[in-house]
Structure 1
Amino acid sequence: MHGRKPYLVGHQEFAALYGVEPQMVGQWLAPSRGVLDPATAIVVSGVRYWPLGFACRFGKTTARPKLLNVRLRERLIAEQGEGWEPDLGEELPPIVGQHEIIELFHLPSQGTLATRIAQGGFPEQDWLLSGSRLWLLDTVIAAVPELRASARTVSWEVDQKVEAALRAGTYDGPGSVVLTRGRHARKGV
């Protein structure tokens, strides 16, 4: 049986595992390079995240092998707490960021959620990766009674269709795709 949450990495952590700048991960993802398949990542709030197992294995799969920083891997595991090391995105439970949470509750603005988080009235994130907060969907759903009890104007009603789509991996609302920037934006993903 796996621990409560899987170990993940964002662009910054992925790059640090191989001693490169975070922009290099974007270059690996570039269609012209074809080094890193975008399908290996999950997208949460418009940003890619990878299972740690895949990220650690990646360096051995490239034409020019890359050396993994094993100490950093150990530190990431320690920082993320009790969990397990998945290799594939399909192994992951539903994970949400601010975009998905706003849609899940039909919040009036991102500021509503940001204020709630800043004031400590929202569950602590399960991950803080590459500067972004992420939660297990179950963490957010479990907090609904407490959110409702302390609410003044927001009802904190869960949209069952959004929750079902997040659980099924079929969510296609805000944050479900990466908005490509730079010279590859014109080509589409």
Structure 2
Amino acid sequence: MQRRPHLVGPQEFAALYDVRPGVVSQWLVRGVLDAATAIVISGGRFWPLGFAARFDSISSGRWELRSEVLADLIEEQGEGWSPDLGEQLPAIVGQKEIIELFHLPSQGNLATTIATGRFPAADWRLSGSRLWLLDTVLDAAPELQASSRKLPWVADEEVAAALREGRYDGPGSTAASRGPYARKAL
């Protein structure tokens, strides 16, 4: 298994500090948590675990890190590392980026491929989202292509390069506003 960076989504971030998941959104709205500290994948925000684990010191100790939750997250994610900054992360994709990468006609095509077990297992399942290393997806493309009767599964090299270089601005590249604070700009 490839070493992956440890990440958290809003649910895992909330668990680290024993707050409701919606509180993480409130922190963003109130400026307690800077949106720039997160990476956006398929419209969701995710944070490097190193950053999330030191949030208690950034927030003047108002919230206390639950070390047992941190240990559980590291164990669940397996051997890897806990980066502090999004720029330290390899290219990571969710379903929206994969659909754009392969120019799939619909999300249903990808959902069916995942459901039938032909798509590689997700590298992470965080806050209800499946995430993959871009390389995991690209490495699976020849097998996907060989097993597909209708879809070409040929990666768009421009999209792959944009994802790798952090300049992707297609579907899923901006955070989707959710919850009661969705109307407030982040």
Q: Same fold (TM over 0.5)?
A: yes
> In the alignment, what sits opposite 2:12?
13
Query: What are the Cα deviations for residues 38-89 of structure 1, in whole angstroms up to 9, with x where unaligned?
Result: 0000000000000000000001111452111111111111111111110111
Whole-angstrom CA distance in 2 between matches of 1:173 and 1:185: 21
Whole-angstrom CA distance in 2 between matches of 1:185 and 1:65: 25
By how many angstroms is 1:4 displaced? 2.0
Report the RMSD for the aligned CA atoms in angstroms.
1.4
**What's the % identity of the aligned pairs?**
64
> In the alignment, what sits opposite 1:161?
158
By how many angstroms is 1:34 displaced? 1.1
By how many angstroms is 1:149 displaced? 1.0
User: Aligned pair 1:65/2:62, yes or no?
Assistant: yes
> In the alignment, what sits opposite 1:23?
22
Cα 1:134/1:156, change in 2 over 3 Å: same
User: Aligned pair 1:38/2:35, yes or no?
Assistant: yes
> In the alignment, what sits opposite 2:147?
150
By how many angstroms is 1:183 displaced? 6.4
Q: Which amino acid aligns with 2:54?
A: R
Whole-angstrom CA distance in 1 between matches of 2:181 and 2:17: 24
Q: How many residues are aligned here? A: 185
Q: Which amino acid aligns with 2:134?
A: L
Whole-angstrom CA distance in 1 between matches of 2:95 and 2:135: 14
User: Aligned pair 1:117/2:114, yes or no?
Assistant: yes
The TM-score with structure 2 as length reference comes to: 0.95
Whole-angstrom CA distance in 2 between matches of 1:128 and 1:182: 21
User: Aligned pair 1:51/2:45, yes or no?
Assistant: no
Where structure 2 has 5 or more consecutive residues not aligned to the other structure, the ranges are none
Q: Secondary structure at the match of 1:102?
A: helix
Whole-angstrom CA distance in 1 between matches of 2:122 and 2:177: 26
Query: What are the Cα deviations for residues 124-162 of structure 1, in whole angstroms up to 9, with x where unaligned?
Result: 000000011000000000111111111110000111110
Q: Which amino acid aligns with 1:25?
A: V
Q: Which amino acid aligns with 2:6?
A: Y
Query: Structure 1 stretches (4+) deviating beyond 6 angstroms?
Result: none
The TM-score with structure 1 as length reference comes to: 0.94
Whole-angstrom CA distance in 2 between matches of 1:130 and 1:182: 15
Cα 1:105/1:178, change in 2 over 3 Å: same
Where structure 1 has 5 or more consecutive residues not aligned to the other structure, the ranges are none
